[in-house]
Structure 1
Amino acid sequence: MMNDSITFYNEIDTIASNTWPAEITAYIDHWQLRATQGVTKRANSVLAIGDYPKTADWLPLVEQFYADKGLPAIFHISDASPPGLDEMLDSQGYVHELPCLMMFANAHEAAALAQEKLLLKPPLSITTEWLGEVDEEWLDAFLELERYDKTLKDCYKGICDRISKTKGFVKIKKDHQIIAVATAIVEGEFAGFLNVVVSEKERGQGLSYYLLHALTSWSLEHGATQQYLQVVASNTTAVSLYEKLGYQTKYRYHYRMKYDLAPFASS
């Protein structure tokens, strides 16, 4: 896509961060510190991309920021992070967690491949509904399908409400019951798909292909010709599904976490 890989990684990490806006955001130079009541690592971590901060004591300041909120210090480490950061954090007691993949596909190719897969499956008796903002039904279904605690509802609603880019929330229904949901967010030529979840009882019928086709079609209508997904590397079932739709891993990221922050002299 671009000759300068580092520039590409920086661009995509920045775009991807806009899909999951934190409740509280602070900065140390150009590094973004995100906090959202500890819900999800993405919304509670340092987006460490580009060069190191010029501020000499940036690490104590990061740890102070999270300690003040009763949270562990977490760094989002990717191919866009500065050289040596991962090793330095490791030496400071930060644990390596949750390796993830950034997978990309051409939207037209992904739509065509999803359509081909659907033709091999029996027709689905389902309906599709798109929302510009989340509603109670979408949120309740998302939490139930993901088996998340219902007390997180307001937090997830806040994240979805804060998304400022072109966004769409889809419900797939069967017999008036939601059996799948997902979110698509378009920024420039890129569409990011997240919150993609299908009911376990309905799997194996081609519903995932239907859902990805719906997301891709909506994104094309809103001007996105490229699309990406952030996938936990150990989720081999999802990775295999996306590869069948033409997705390729362009780069990887993981988190560095430190739980036992040392006490500070002042708050």
Structure 2
Amino acid sequence: MDADRLVHEAWPAYEQQPHDGWIFRCAGGVTKRANSVLPVGLPADLPGAIAAAEAFYAERGLPCVFSMGPGAPAGLDEELERRGYALVDPTLVMAGTPKGEPVPGVRIEERPWPEWLETWWAVDGRYGSGLEEAARICAGVPAWYAAYEEDGVPLAVGRGVPQGDTLGIYCMATLPSARRRGLGRAVLRGLVARAGGGPAYLVVTAGNAGAQALYRSEGFEIAGRYHYRVR
């Protein structure tokens, strides 16, 4: 599984600039995933490529961030550390063939509706007023948007991105007042059922043991890891 490519394509920055095999990505500063360098392969001029990346983000008023996945060239992580880049957000890629079944109460649409966005942002809105940019990222590729609703209010949400025979699962979020009711599980199973089953993957922070336990119980196991280097 090419996790670098899958994650890059499923959560697409709306501004992308190639540089010597790398991709500089920008989406208004919303999420590191869409506002970081994807350093796949070793450029001909490594110091020059790092300098170009730093200039790209400086021009946009953003910190220079590198996404350090399996495709990152050997030695880059150590070079960035030497330059004072901090290691942040160690993340797991989990993959498997999970269970899927339509669940009563789970609504699935092909575009995020306002209440879906509000629920997701209420849980994952770490970027202040960036909801408009986040919605633009979501709309960058075809996807399904699922929510477990009560009285028209989404209590748990998720996003499924069909990528060939693989389903990418993103934006899993449950309102704090609705947790420990199995609603996240219902959303996950609904998305898998909508895709017709088959292999799937998701990403989860290394410190989120609760979410990892849920995903393991649904058939996911650790398939890879990545982290970020932030200047």
Aligned to 1:53: 43
TM-score (norm 2): 0.92
- CA shift digits 1:21-50 (9 cap, x unpaired): 11211011221110112111001001112x
Q: Do structure 1's residue 217 and structure 2's residue 205 form an aligned pair?
A: no
Q: Do structure 1's residue 247 and structure 2's residue 217 form an aligned pair?
A: no
Equivalents in 2 of 1:188, 1:61: separation in Å? Answer: 33
1:133/1:161 contact within 8 Å kept: yes
* Partner-residue secondary structure (3-state), 2:10: coil
- Runs (4+) of structure 1 exceeding 6 A deviation are none
Q: Do structure 1's residue 143 and structure 2's residue 121 form an aligned pair?
A: yes
- CA shift digits 1:58-87 (9 cap, x unpaired): 111111101111111100001221111111
Q: By how many angstroms is 1:179 displaced?
A: 0.5
2:30/2:127 contact within 8 Å kept: no
Equivalents in 2 of 1:226, 1:183: separation in Å? Answer: 15
AA at the equivalent of 2:227 = H
Q: By how many angstroms is 1:158 displaced?
A: 0.9
Structure having the higher Rg: 1
Equivalents in 2 of 1:32, 1:103: separation in Å? Answer: 24
Equivalents in 2 of 1:80, 1:227: separation in Å? Answer: 20
Q: Do structure 1's residue 161 and structure 2's residue 152 form an aligned pair?
A: no
AA at the equivalent of 1:246 = G
2:11/2:34 contact within 8 Å kept: yes
Q: What is the correspondence of 1:8-87 to structure 2 with a 5 Å cutoff?
A: 8=1, 11-49=2-40, 51-55=41-45, 57-87=48-78
Aligned to 1:111: 99
* Stretch deviating more after TM superposition (12-21 or 226-235): 12-21
Q: Do structure 1's residue 90 and structure 2's residue 63 form an aligned pair?
A: no
Aligned to 1:182: 158
For residue 232 of structure 1, the aligned residue among 205, 212, 225 is 205
Q: Do structure 1's residue 173 and structure 2's residue 143 form an aligned pair?
A: no
Equivalents in 2 of 1:48, 1:239: separation in Å? Answer: 27
Please report the RMSD computed on the Cα atoms of aligned residues, expressed in angstroms. 1.8
Query: Percent same amino acid at aligned positions?
Result: 29
Q: 1 or 2, which has the higher helix percentage? A: 1
Number of residues of Structure 1 aligned to a counterpart in Structure 2: 229
Which ranges in structure 1 are unaligned for 5 or more consecutive residues?
1-7, 116-123, 259-267
* Partner-residue secondary structure (3-state), 1:139: helix
Aligned to 1:121: none
* Partner-residue secondary structure (3-state), 1:90: helix
1:184/1:191 contact within 8 Å kept: yes
AA at the equivalent of 2:99 = A
Equivalents in 1 of 2:163, 2:26: separation in Å? Answer: 23
Q: By how many angstroms is 1:148 displaced?
A: 4.9
* Partner-residue secondary structure (3-state), 1:208: helix
